[in-house]
Copies of this chain bind each other. A is one copy, B any other.
C-alpha cells in the first residue's frame, strides 16, 4: 500500500516535470534526462513508469483533458443556464491554466509542430462550447441574428488566443481580461432580454 502510494507520487512528479520541460524546451528538444532530474528520480524510475517521451506527453494530455472535463462539468452543473455556464467555464479554465502547468503543457502539445499529434484538448473545448450555445439557442436565450456556431467560433478562437498568449504572459489569463471579454460579448449574445441576470465575472467563491 505504502509502495503503491509512493509509485503514484513518483508518476505524478514525472508528469509535472515533463510538463515543465515541454513548456520550456518544446517537445522536440525536451530530454528524458532533464525530466527525471527535475522530478528528482532516476532514469530507471522514469522508464519504469513511461516507456518513451511520447508516453509522457500522452499522460500530460490525459491529465489536462480530465481538468477540462471537470471544469466544464462543474460550470454546467453550477451555473444558472448555458450562457452563464460558458462565462464561468472560461474563467475557471483561464484561472486553472494560470496555475496548472500540466494543463498549460497539454494545450501547448496540441499545437507543437514537432510532435504532430492531435489537438484533442482544443477540440474537446470547442465541442463543449458549441453544445452549450446550441442549447442556449434551443432555450431561446440567444439574441436574434446570433448564430450559435458563429458565436462558438469567436469564443473558441478567443479562448485559444488567451491560452497561447498566456503561455508567455500570464496577464492574458487574468480575471480582468476575461471579464472584459465577456462584458463585451455577453450583451450581444443575450440581447436585451436578460438584464441583470447574466454576469461577465467568475462564479462567486472562486
Residue numbers of A with Cβ under 8 A of B are 22-29, 108, 111-115, 119, 122, 146-147, 150-151, 153-154, 156-162, 164-165, 167-168, 172, 177, 180-181, 183-185, 187-189
Q: Is the CB of B168 within 8 A of A154?
A: no
Q: Are B112 and A113 within 8 A (Cβ)?
A: yes
* Copies of this chain in its oligomeric complex: 2
A188 to B189: give the CA distance in the assembly, Å.
Answer: 10
CA distance A161 to B122 in the complex (A): 11
Contact residues of A: prevailing secondary structure? helix
Query: For residue A156, which residue of chain B has the nearest CB?
Result: B161
Q: How far is the CA of A41 from the CA of B112 in the complex (A)?
A: 28
Across the A-B interface, the 8 shortest Cβ-Cβ residue pairs: A26-B114, A157-B161, A150-B180, A161-B161, A28-B28, A160-B161, A26-B113, A188-B188
CA distance A22 to B113 in the complex (A): 8
Contact A157 B184, beta carbon cutoff 8 Å: no
